[in-house]
Structure 1
Amino acid sequence: MKRNIYQFGAALASGIVFGFGLSLSGMLNPVRVQAFLDVFGNWDPSLAFVLGAAVAIAYIGIQMMKQMRHPAFDHSFQVPTNRKIDAPLVIGSALFGLGWGIGGFCPGPAIATLSLGIPQTVVFVVAMLIGMTFYDRVWSRTP
């Protein structure tokens, strides 16, 4: 029970830091994300710096993980082992990219932007949840 409380606290703290970072960097604004994707128009490179910082921090975290025997709040690390590039991965990536480009949101920032009360965000999150439910109920159950 105590371990679950620590896991919840660690997840909550990580989410708060993530949301604060998104807000501080301006990535809660879908127009800014769309301006990054508009390479032939009014291109805004700020997202590249945010992505670069995220990659650097993730790299440091992975290097630290390699030095640890187990994580602080679990018995083992949950690291993906499948490295196969298949049709579902490519299709899912393309759909994610299309949704990101059209809506200007990806799931994390969309959830954080709900706190701002922007109506487009609510529509995006509802559509995202419908898509996730469809995948869970239909696509992932097909052999």
Structure 2
Amino acid sequence: MCSPSCARNGATRPPRSAPWTFSNSGGRLGAELHVICLCAQWCGTCREWHPVMDDIARTLPHVRWRWLDIEDEAELLGDLDVDTLPTLLVGRGDQVLFHGPVLPKLDLLTRLIETLSHQTNSATGVDAEALALWQRLRTAA
């Protein structure tokens, strides 16, 4: 996992790239499960995470995916502090089902997403800033 201090500890920031786009990543944040990966291009762990997410997106076409660079899209984040990268924000409709850091491991993420795809209730303990980001993403979609 990576933290913002990675950049301060000698990591160089590669050129910024466009947000991830997958063939199944369009449309409003509605009834489908949406996985928002909060990452940064300068974070080595996040760069390694990209192909893992790519593989999962292909195997779970019913899920919508988005890479949200915490620096390139800082204004969208609002007051949400992301201390550990990568962090996921997962939701459906107006409900946030999960918000937190994750290890970039294919089997763990696949199991998490499969579990969340059957979850019908909002997660407990999600902070107000994460809920506000989810609402901004829903409005912007």
TM over 0.5: no
User: Which structure shows the bigger proportion of residues in strand conformation?
Assistant: 2
User: Which structure shows the bigger proportion of residues in helix conformation?
Assistant: 1
Task: Name the larger-Rg structure.
Answer: 1
TM-score w.r.t. length of structure 1: 0.28
TM-score w.r.t. length of structure 2: 0.28
